[in-house]
Every structure is written in structure tokens, then in C-alpha cells.
Amino acid sequence: DFDRLIREQNFNVSKNNEDNGKKDLILNVTSIDLEGNTIFEDFQIDALLRKYVGKDRDIYALINELENKYIEKGYVTIKVGLNTEKSDF
């Protein structure tokens, strides 16, 4: 059935920034506010977000990891972005 077919597919976003045409975006991150999440409980996302708080953190790696987490749950058309209007960089 369709659900089984989707689960069997490999939809992971490339972890290599050269493969997806993006350059690294390395920042000193003091906090991360995730908006619009209605799929995961806070505790399911907090550990992932904590890895990206601190000096010299790759923001595109965070975006890719978040997208992959949604894809693993079957949300294959998900797009995670960075709200530059609310960012302090």
C-alpha cells in the first residue's frame, strides 16, 4: 500500500552541503525558537536543538536534520527554513 511504499523510500536530505548547493552558515547560536511544529512533542525536538546552541554551529546542518526528522515520520514534502526577520545575525 501507499504508506508502506513511502516508508520504504529513502527521502533523506543530503548531509553534504556541496551536494545540495548550499554553503555552510556557521554562527554563534544563543537560542533556537522552533515555530509551527505540530507534529513532535517538545522533548522530541529539544535534544536535537541543543546540539546546535553554542559557538560555530552550522545552521544548514540543523535545517537538514530537522527536515530529515519530519521525513522519517512520513512528511516527505516538509520544508524547514530560517526566519531572517526574527534572527539576530
- Please state the domain extents for the chain: 2-72
Instruction: State residue 86's pLDDT score.
Output: 78
**Predicted confidence pLDDT, tens digits, the chain (89 residues):** 556 655 555 545 455 545 555 567 888 888 888 888 999 999 999 989 999 998 888 889 999 999 999 999 999 999 998 887 877 76
DSSP string, 2-31: HHHHHHHS--PPPS-TTTTTPPP-EEEES-
Q: 23 vs 15, 17, 55, 58, CA distance in Å?
A: 12, 6, 18, 10
Rounded Cα distance, 82 and 86, in Å: 9
**How many CB atoms within 10 Å of residue 66?**
22
Q: Which of 40, 49, 30, 21 lies closest to 78, judged by CA?
A: 40
Instruction: State residue 19's pLDDT score.
Output: 53
Q: Which three cell numbers stand for residue 62?
A: 540543523
